[in-house]
Amino acid sequence: MAFFSSQGFSFGSTYNYDTIKNMGHISPMVQSHLKLVYLTLCCALASSAVGAYLHVMLNIGGLLTFIGGILSIGWLFSVPIFEERKRFGILMGGALLQGATIGPIVKTVVDFDPSILVSAFVGTALAFGCFSAAAMVARRREFLYLGGILSSGFSLLLLFQFGSSLFGFSATSFKIELYYGLVLFMGYIIFDTQDIIERAHNGDLDYIKHALTLFTDFIAVLVRILIIMVKNSSEKEDKKKKRRS
């Protein structure tokens, strides 16, 4: 709770509608930039949904779409910033490939219980909105110190995944990795939002690149919430079957 009760932002009686509207530290130019960022993010999420749907229908997701998504990101950064239409199209194509890549997870969820997919998306959107709002109403640069902590945490996550691949996965290690990754990327939502705001104040108005950053955070959180919800539902079903038998 102390994490969210630092200078300028706290839950409780001081967190109300007036607090949400209090973004005086964000200039009108930056606010306009943020609108473009989130509009582009919504378009990217819609494109990824199409990609996931194409996998469910045509089974196109896999290693090739994963590699294609990585290459599209590299291509995006190589295109000059003033070529907005081209970069926007590349982002949409990369998002579609990313959606196809997570398509197998989506298909598993749909086959198991389609309502989980809706619940997971709504939950992710709410969490994303709350953490983004926390970063916006906080003082400028208040959460930028998280960058070093999150980078170290991400390195630990990679080491943990590498160790698990060498010594074998277990149910406990998988659960730790799952929840640890979820918390880590929740932190990245706050950090990346404030980083985008600060970069915009310093003249970096590349809304396509910034939307890509938030898109990556959103997908990372969504995938983990999907897996957690399916796992919990599956365990509940198993318990019910054991009781019946």
Distances, alpha carbon 4 to alpha carbons 23, 103, 128, 189, 238, in Å: 17, 34, 15, 14, 37
The pLDDT > 90 percentage for the chain reads: 58
Residue 191 in this model has a pLDDT that exceeds 70? yes
pLDDT tens by residue, 100-155? 999 999 999 999 889 999 999 999 999 999 988 888 887 777 777 788 888 888 88
* Other beta carbons less than 10 A from residue 226's beta carbon: 22
| Cα–Cα distance, 213 to 27 (Å, whole number) | 21
| Cα–Cα distance, 13 to 16 (Å, whole number) | 7
* Burial class of residue 243 (count of CB atoms within 10 Å of its CB; 0-12, 13-18, 19+): exposed
Q: What was the pLDDT predicted at 175?
A: 82
Q: What was the pLDDT predicted at 8?
A: 38
pLDDT tens by residue, 15-54? 344 444 445 578 889 999 999 999 999 999 999 999 999 9
* Burial class of residue 177 (count of CB atoms within 10 Å of its CB; 0-12, 13-18, 19+): middle
- Residue 4: band (very low, low, confident or very high) from pLDDT cuts 50, 70, 90: very low
Taking all residues of the chain, what is their mean pLDDT, rounded to a whole number? 84
The model carries a pTM of: 0.83
Q: Which residues have a Cβ under 8 Å from the Cβ of 68 and sit 6 or more positions away?
A: 94, 97
* Burial class of residue 167 (count of CB atoms within 10 Å of its CB; 0-12, 13-18, 19+): exposed
The one-letter amino acid code at 100 reads A
